[in-house]
Structure formats: C-alpha cells, structure tokens
Amino acid sequence: MKALATIVTVLAVQLATPAIAATYVPVPGGTFESVLPQGLAPTVSTPVEITSFAMRSTPVTVAQYEAFVRAYPQWQKGEVPATLAERRYLASWKSATAAAGPAGDAAAPVTDVSWFAARAFCESEGARLPTWLEWEYAAAADATRTDARRDPAWRQRILSWYSQPTGDTPGRVGGEPNVYGVRDMHGLVWEWVDDFNALFIAGDSRTQGDADLLKFCGAGAINIIDKDSYAVVMRIALLSSLNAADTTASLGFRCVRDAGTTP
C-alpha cells in the first residue's frame, strides 16, 4: 500500500494549476439519512451531519480531460502504470491527447478513467473526489427540494433513465439543475466517489483503522435501509465491485471542494 501511495504521489507532483476552468456551486450542509447505515445498528437509519461543500456543476467533460492530459503528460493514454489504470484507460481515444468518434464530443462526460486518474484530475484544480455521503446528499435533490427521495414520481423518473438502452457515448452535460445548481447527477454516467470500495462495510467499521481501507477494501456485508431506492442500490453495487485501477465506458466523475476552499 505504501509503495502504491508513493507512485500516486510522484505522478501527482505539480498538479497545482487547473488545466481548464470549472464551475463549482455551493452545497449547504445539513442533516441527512443515507440509504447506507451510518451507526452501530446495521438496520437502523442514523441521521448524519453533512458539512457544506462546493461541487462541480457537471461531470468532468472530454474537453476538460483532454486539457488535463496535455498539461500533465504522465496521465496520458499509454503513460500510466497498470497499477493506476488498467489497459482500457481512455480506450476509445484516437491519440494520447484527443478522444475519437462519438467519445470525442467535447461536451460529453469523460469516461474510461480510473479512480486514481480521477483523483489526480481533481487535485489539479485544488479539489478532491466527493465522498459517497456528499454525492448521495447532492443527488437526493430535485429542482425545488433538497430531498426528493420520498416522491414516487421522482424515483420512477430516475429508474426510467437507468432502464434506457445506452448508446456509443453518453449525451452532453448540461441537464436541468437541481436546487443547488448541480446538473446530471442521474441519467448520464455513473460517477466515482472517493470511498467507493468501502460502501459494503458497516458504518462503524468505516471509521476504524488505516484510512486507505476506505479506498481499497470491500469486505463485509451491509443492509440497504431504504430498499425502494433501487437506483441508488444499483450505483452502490457497481461502485463496490470495482478496483481503483478499473475503467468502464459508463463511469465518469466530478470533483468537490471543502467550503471556503479556492484553487
């Protein structure tokens, strides 16, 4: 683990200047009940306090990631060690710095990016990947409510998005904003979160031991408290099945910053 962390640190050196400007919107904190148990009882919902943060209004786009790999060649296709990105990393790109075909739509969300690469991108603009709780909190909102999860119509709309056949590439970013001004949380791509591989660990266990376990371990089992949240369950199942070097054609990412932080 220490050796791998050293490699990541070396590749992240000088990631201090954003490759391309991004829009972050404030997400005020509040009390939130996750579909994942957060307390000692695995079947009881325990409200948690979410600290205010700022989130990218859209997923990172192809154009933004092209600018990133031009600015930081160590993250170009063919340059990243296999420990940090599997062979499908940017698989559809026609060159080290340019996407190809449908995936080349500059306004589409970038996909085929590993967790390591996504984290490096976020660090390059003074940000980080969101935690699962931050992502779930922001994704619970609709255009007028901070938490629309109890609305059957809202749930059905999200499920209908996930049931649609996928094309060669996702659509463009820029869907309707939710109450925070965040767009495309549903119906475009799956998204990496920082603690993706700790989602099937009991809430009390997630705070114990080596912090790196939040990224790389996936042992244990968990009960989903709100079993009607099928779309969220699907997302958790996908993320918990991945390794940090994995990539898929339907998985992108967005970044967050702590409240009051500027690049």
Rounded to 5 degrees, φ, ψ at 252 are: -120, -150
Assigned token pair, 79: 């340059």
Residue linked to tokens 């683990």: 1
Tell me how far apart the alpha carbons of residues 76 and 229 are, in angstroms, rounded to a whole number.
Answer: 37
Asked if pLDDT for residue 19 goes beyond 80, the answer is no
CATH architecture of 2-258: Alpha-Beta Complex (3.90)
Question: What digits encode the pLDDT tens for the residues 20-32?
Answer: 568 999 999 999 9
Domain ranges of the chain: 2-258
- Longest alpha-carbon distance in the chain: 50
Strands 53-56 vs 190-191: parallel, antiparallel or unpaired: unpaired
Rounded to 5 degrees, φ, ψ at 114 are: -75, 165
Residue linked to tokens 């266990």: 205
The pLDDT, as a whole number, for residue 22 is 82
Tell me how far apart the alpha carbons of residues 205 and 215 are, in angstroms, rounded to a whole number.
Answer: 13
Tell me how far apart the alpha carbons of residues 181 and 142 are, in angstroms, rounded to a whole number.
Answer: 10
Asked if pLDDT for residue 210 goes beyond 50, the answer is no
Asked if pLDDT for residue 50 goes beyond 90, the answer is yes
Tell me how far apart the alpha carbons of residues 216 and 195 are, in angstroms, rounded to a whole number.
Answer: 8
Burial of 48 (0-12, 13-18, 19+ CB in 10 A): middle
Tell me how far apart the alpha carbons of residues 25 and 180 are, in angstroms, rounded to a whole number.
Answer: 7
Tell me how far apart the alpha carbons of residues 115 and 247 are, in angstroms, rounded to a whole number.
Answer: 8
- When computed from its CA atoms, the radius of gyration of the chain, rounded to whole angstroms, is 18
pLDDT band at 220 (very low <50, low <70, confident <90, very high): very low
Task: Write down the mean pLDDT value for the chain.
Answer: 80
Task: Count CA atoms closer than 13 A to 215's CA, side-chain side.
Answer: 17
255 SS3 class: coil
Residue linked to tokens 């967005």: 254
C-beta of residue 136 within 8 angstroms of C-beta of residue 35 = yes
pLDDT band at 46 (very low <50, low <70, confident <90, very high): confident
Tell me how far apart the alpha carbons of residues 148 and 50 are, in angstroms, rounded to a whole number.
Answer: 17
The pLDDT, as a whole number, for residue 155 is 81
Burial of 205 (0-12, 13-18, 19+ CB in 10 A): middle
Question: What digits encode the pLDDT tens for the residues 58-93?
Answer: 999 999 999 999 999 999 999 999 999 999 999 999
- What Å distances lie between residue 176 and 67, 179, 183, 194, 216, CA to CA? 26, 10, 6, 25, 34
Question: What digits encode the pLDDT tens for the residues 99-140?
Answer: 877 667 999 999 999 999 999 999 999 999 999 999 999 999
Please indicate whether residue 218 or residue 138 has the higher confidence score (pLDDT): 138
Determine the distance from the C-alpha atom of residue 223 to the mean position of all C-alpha atoms in its chain, rounded to a whole number. Answer: 22
Task: Count CA atoms closer than 13 A to 45's CA, side-chain side.
Answer: 10
Asked if pLDDT for residue 226 goes beyond 70, the answer is no
